[in-house]
Amino acid sequence: MEDKLVKADEEWKKLLTPMQYSVARKKSTESPFTGIYDNFYNEGFYFCICCGARLFNSKDKFNAGCGWPAFSDIISNKHIQLHTDKSHGMVRIEVTCARCDGHLGHLFNDGPPPDGLRYCINSASIKFIEKSETQTQ
């Protein structure tokens, strides 16, 4: 994204709940099956909790049974960045927001056809807006 959003740590702490801050800014992970969007299937879009970038469409959400919201696709490659994550003794692909660098989750290759992708995303990193509310955005 062209309009990069940079804020000081103290600003993020004022804008986000402690859980949102911990996950989105400090790269922690919410416990499985605890996030509000894990078992949630309303029609609409998911936005970055930090900067409001549109990231995922509900039509691409599926039940992976992993305990976190799972998506098979993204809105745009311009809104998402992928990074190698070697933390916790594993090698994974971290997913971040391209606009604000907020940690969203991880990408795995065990999703549904045709691409087999599973964007495993923390509920604390995203905000859902109903389709009817986003039609003017």
pLDDT above 60 (res 1): no
State how far the alpha carbon of 24 is from the alpha carbons of 63, 96, 118, 132, in Å.
Answer: 22, 9, 19, 27
Average pLDDT for 40-47: 97
The pLDDT confidence band at residue 11, using thresholds 50, 70 and 90, is very high
Domain membership flag for residue 127: yes
Catalytic position from the list 48, 51, 97, 120: 120
Range of the domain at 44: 9-131
Domain with 92 in it: what CATH number? 2.170.150.20
- Are the beta carbons of 38 and 29 closer than 8 angstroms? no
Domain membership flag for residue 37: yes
The pLDDT confidence band at residue 29, using thresholds 50, 70 and 90, is very high
Domain membership flag for residue 2: no
pLDDT above 80 (res 134): no
pLDDT above 80 (res 2): no
pLDDT above 90 (res 63): yes
Rounded CA gap, 97 and 82, in Å? 9
Domain membership flag for residue 136: no
Give Cβ neighbours of residue 73 (< 8 Å, ≥ 6 apart).
56, 57, 60, 115, 117, 119
In the residue annotation, 50 being an active-site residue is answered as: no
pLDDT above 60 (res 91): yes
Domain count, the chain: 1
Average pLDDT for 36-62: 97
